[in-house]
Every structure is written in structure tokens, then in C-alpha cells.
């Protein structure tokens, strides 16, 4: 996949067909993208989808726990989107790849399990900050929801969620970015610290 607009810094993800997501839909301070001149194009063989990453870019999240993973994803309405994000955060704290992949996408793919297991196996001092990631009240309607994400009370961005008619999932394009970053909540932490990530391995973090 090629960067279609070199005049803009940031992230544009294309997941094939009509699936795409642009900068402000993923996360950023005041719902804008992180600008970082160290832009790289990275191809990842995840379900045949190419992922365009910005080193130092990140993604989003917030939280309170109900029921089991399979219950929350099928909960209708905006509360279901919020509860799904909360469970995703908890799965990252627990380093539970199976639950994370089930919550993140109905595909629940072997690729997801492999990537997240590897990510959770990477030692990271940032993992201690996952508990400080907060999940706010979603906005949206119909088949989509934007879930506000904070870190230690600071606005980081929004987690884009979508309803497929049966369950909530992370927007497919954002899902790839968050999986690469080691999770939804971890993406928010990495974004705040200006980290780059490749399959959960962090680099360039600023404390």
C-alpha cells in the first residue's frame, strides 16, 4: 500500500474494499493525529492487509467491568461499546491474548493470537500505566461509536467501535493498528510517550 497523500503527516489505514480510517478517527490529542516526521511505511502480513504506520503514532481507550467477554460484545447500544473497550483494557492488564482477540474482532484470528501473545511476552515498563487508562461515555449512533480515552485524566483520543448487527468490534482498520501496538489501552500509553511499535515491540519512547 502506498501513502496516497504525502502532503499530510499522520496515519491512514486501508483495509481493503471500502474499509478505511483516517487520522482523527483513530486517536490524538483533541481528536487529532500525532505528527511525527519519522514516518515509515511498514507492510504487515495480517490477513493480507497492508498497514501504514507512523512511528510515534498510537490509538485509544476507557473502563468498569461487567460479565464475560462474549456477553459484553453482544450488548446493544453505546453502553455495549464502552463495556467492550473496558474489557479490552482488562485483557491487556491480564495479558490475556485469547480474550483480547475475541473482544476485538469477530474474526478472532490465529494471526491476532500470535501477535498479541508475542506482544504480551515483551517486557515493557509502560504496562504499569495501563490501569491509568480511562474510558469515557461513548458518542455516536447506528452502527458506530466513538469511545473517549484518557490517561491519568488527560484526553488522548477516541476508540472507534462498530456494531456488525450482532456484536461490537474495533473498527477493522484501527484493529490492525491497535494489534500492532500491543493493544487498545497500550496504544494510548504509547501515544502519550511518543513511542513507535512493531508487533508489540516499542521504540523511541519518551518518559
Alpha carbon distance 118, 112 (integer Å)? 10
Question: Helix, strand, or coil here: 168?
Answer: strand
> Average pLDDT of 23-36?
37
Q: How would residue 168 be classed by pLDDT, with cut points 50, 70 and 90? A: very high
pLDDT at 139 > cutoff 80: yes
Asked if 29 and 151 count as a contact pair (C-beta separation under 8 A), the reply is: no
pLDDT in the model for residue 148: 95
DSSP letter at 106 equals T
What backbone torsions phi and psi does residue 158 show, to the nearest 5 degrees? Answer: -135, 145
Give 68's DSSP letter: -
pLDDT of residue 68: 63
Is 51 a member of any domain? yes
Report the pLDDT value the prediction gives residue 194, as an integer from 0 to 100. Answer: 84
Task: Evaluate whether residue 61 is within a structural domain.
Answer: yes
Domain assignment of residue 3, yes or no: no
pLDDT at 205 over 80: no
- Asked whether 146 and 158 are in contact (CB, 8 A), the reply is yes
> At residue 34, does pLDDT exceed 70?
no
- Is the pLDDT at 58 greater than 90? The verdict is no
CB contact at 8 A, 130 and 185: yes
Q: For a pLDDT cut of 90, what percent of the chain falls above it?
A: 49
Strands 154-163 and 139-141: unpaired
Q: Minimal CA–CA distance to 158: which of 122, 123, 134, 194?
A: 134
Number of domains the chain contains? 1
Q: At what angle do helices 184-193 and 172-181 cross, to 10 degrees?
A: 70
Overall average pLDDT of the 135-143 stretch? 93
Domain assignment of residue 122, yes or no:
yes
Angle at 138 between CA 127 and CA 12, to 5 degrees: 70
CA distances from 92 to 69, 109, 182 (A): 13, 17, 8
For the question of whether the overall pTM of this predicted structure is more than 0.75, the answer is no
Q: Furthest-apart CA pair in the chain: how many Å? A: 46
- Asked if residue 5 is part of any domain, the answer here is no
Domain residues for the domain of 131 are: 13-203
Which residue in the block uniquely carries the three cell numbers 492487509? 49
| 170/196: higher pLDDT | 170
Q: Evaluate whether residue 6 is within a structural domain.
A: no
Is the distance from CB of 55 to CB of 193 less than 8 angstroms? no
Confidence of residue 4 (pLDDT cuts 50, 70, 90): very low
Give yes or no for a contact between 60 and 187, defined as CB atoms under 8 angstroms apart.
yes
List, for residues 60-91, the tens digit of each pLDDT value: 333 344 456 668 999 999 999 999 999 999 99
| Segment holding 135, helix H or strand E | strand 133-135
**pLDDT score, position 43:** 33
Q: How confident is the model at residue 114 (pLDDT cuts 50, 70, 90)?
A: very high
* Residue 8 resides in a domain: no
Q: Per-residue pLDDT averaged across 14-33, rounded? A: 38
Mean pLDDT of 84-99: 96
Average pLDDT value over all residues in the chain: 73
29 within domain boundaries: yes
Is-contact 187 178, C-beta < 8 A? yes
Amino acid at each position: 500500500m502506498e501513502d496516497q497523500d504525502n502532503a499530510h503527516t499522520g496515519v491512514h489505514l486501508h483495509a481493503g474494499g471500502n474499509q478505511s480510517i483516517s487520522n482523527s478517527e483513530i486517536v490524538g490529542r483533541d481528536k487529532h493525529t500525532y505528527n511525527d516526521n519519522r514516518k515509515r511505511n511498514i507492510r504487515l502480513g495480517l490477513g493480507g492487509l497492508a498497514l501504514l504506520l507512523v512511528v510515534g503514532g498510537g490509538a485509544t481507550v476507557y473502563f468498569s467491568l461487567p460479565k464475560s467477554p462474549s456477553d459484553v460484545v453482544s450488548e446493544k447500544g453505546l453502553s455495549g461499546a464502552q463495556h467492550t473497550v473496558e474489557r479490552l483494557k482488562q485483557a491487556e492488564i491480564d495479558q490475556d491474548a485469547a480474550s483480547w482477540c475475541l473482544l476485538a474482532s469477530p474474526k478472532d484470528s490465529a494471526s491476532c493470537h500470535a501477535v498479541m501473545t508475542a506482544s504480551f511476552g515483551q517486557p515493557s515498563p509502560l504496562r504499569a500505566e495501563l490501569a491509568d487508562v480511562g474510558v469515557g461515555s461513548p458518542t455516536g449512533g447506528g452502527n458506530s461509536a466513538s469511545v473517549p480515552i484518557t490517561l491519568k485524566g488527560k484526553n488522548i483520543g477516541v476508540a472507534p467501535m462498530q456494531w456488525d448487527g450482532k456484536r461490537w468490534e474495533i473498527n477493522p482498520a484501527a484493529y490492525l493498528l491497535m494489534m500492532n501496538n500491543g493493544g487498545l489501552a497500550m496504544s494510548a500509553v504509547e501515544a502519550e510517550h511518543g513511542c513507535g511499535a512493531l508487533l508489540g515491540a516499542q521504540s523511541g519512547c519518551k518518559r
